[in-house]
Every structure is written in C-alpha cells, then in structure tokens.
Amino acid sequence: MLLTLNDCTITNIEIAINVPYGTGSSTHKNRRFHGLVMNDSTSSKLYRFSDGTTMETLPDSVFYLPEHSSYIVKDVAPGGCWAINFYMNKPIQLAPFSIKLRNHLPVQRIFKESIEIYMKKKPFSRVEIIKNLYSIISHIGNESLHSYIPSTLRNKIQPAENEIFSRYTDTDLTVSELAKLCGISVAYLRRAFNQIYSMSPKDYICSLRIDHAKALLENTSLPVSEIAVMSGYSDPCYFSREFKKRTGIAPSRYKSL
C-alpha cells in the first residue's frame, strides 16, 4: 500500500496536533490534505467513507486518511489520537488503511515530538516534521511489507531499529554499535536486515538520510554542504555521490527543480 508513496514527495505540513477524546469532529467532507493518525492505547474508532467502505482503527494503530476523502467517525472505545496533516507534490491513489504496529513506541514518540515541534514554531520546524513523517512511513511500510518475518528475528534486531529511528542523522552511528546493542555479531545483523528489509543496515540508514536530505533541499535555502551534515554525512562530496546514486540526480540540481 505505502509503495504508492515511493514516487511522491511531502511538500508541506498543515498541522501536527493532539486530539483528546471528545474534541474532534465526527463528520469530514472533502479533506484538503492527507493525514497520518495514531490512536492512543485506549482509542478505537470506526470510519465510514462516502464510497461505502469502512475502516476500524485499534488502540496504538497508525492509519491513513486520503486527501479529498469524506467520512463519518464513530467512537468504538474512548480515547484520543495524534495527527499529522500534510500535502504531497502530486495526487496519489492510496486507499485508507490502518495498521496495528508490533512496536508502537518509536512511532508514538515521533508523533509526540512532531506535535511539540509544531507548537513551538521554531525555525525549520516544518522540515523537522516532514523528516519525522518519512520516518513514520518507513516504519509502518516495512512492518506491512514484512509481516511474515518470524517475530523472534524481528525482536532480535528491535534495539537496532529503535536506535536507527532515533539517530539516523547522527554521523557517528555505526553498524557495529547497532550490533552491540542487539547482542549479536555484525554479520548476523546484516543477514537479519537483508531478510527483513532486503537491504543492509547501512543502506537502510542511508535511505532515511536521503529522504531527510530531499526534504531539506526542497524546503530550505541551506547550502548543500550544510544539508549534508544535517542529514548524517560529514563529507559533502560523499553525500553528493550517494544522493546521485540513489536518486539519479545531483543534490544541487535537485535543489533547483
């Protein structure tokens, strides 16, 4: 489902907000933006869309509400949620979906952090929230695509996943450090990531960094050298090579598009 987002770019944030129980509207018509929402540990809701489809969202689940959708929300169990509403660079055909996360805490932390950033209105807050959205999409996308992976294997590398989501822009983050966190060898960690994500831990980190760099290039006037450092690359030349290898275009050119 989230593979539809591979060719799209998040261009702007409408709002990042906490919605306590009883405060949200029950009827929505022709949403102006896309939305990613996460229920708290007690909330459960039933969405009835204008085309007749329904979607139940469970506690600690993340769900997607499409741009231009119309629906009615009914509480199944009381509780609140966190929401990030955003815009894309082009229309997409992606139906509403809900996913119950096996480890909801990292994503919950990202939602709360995004709301805090939005409320403070600091410089580059929009960019930081866009970065967080890419992290959420990556997390839930990998869970949905690889749900058949044995839970024992996924649990084994969970500390590495959590560390990556927290520190993927940290230039000091290493694969050996991640393996040590999990109590396994580097070779075992690489095999596990290849089985679960079809890529090495290094490539997985790089994919998150490049997505972060894209958001910075599109939404700021910062020089490429500074964006390289902010995206986890101490060497701007190496960053430029990696960016071009993965996107087919140099970051300076991408910035001017």
Place of tokens 């609140």: 80
Domains of the chain with bracketed CATH: 2-103 (2.60.120.10), 146-257 (1.10.10.60)
Percent of the chain with pLDDT over 70: 92
Q: Using one digit for the tens of pLDDT, what is the confidence trace for 36-80?
A: 999 998 999 999 999 999 999 999 899 999 999 999 999 999 999
Its pTM stands at 0.60
Cβ distance 78 to 57 under 8 Å?
no
Q: How far, in Å, CA of 151 to CA of 187, rounded?
A: 19
Q: Could you tell me which of 156, 138, 256 has the C-alpha nearest to residue 197? A: 138
Q: Using one digit for the tens of pLDDT, what is the confidence trace for 135-154?
A: 898 888 766 665 556 677 87
Q: Using one digit for the tens of pLDDT, what is the confidence trace for 176-230?
A: 999 999 999 999 999 988 887 778 999 989 988 988 888 888 888 899 999 999 9
Average pLDDT over residues 226-241: 94
pLDDT at 123 > cutoff 60: yes
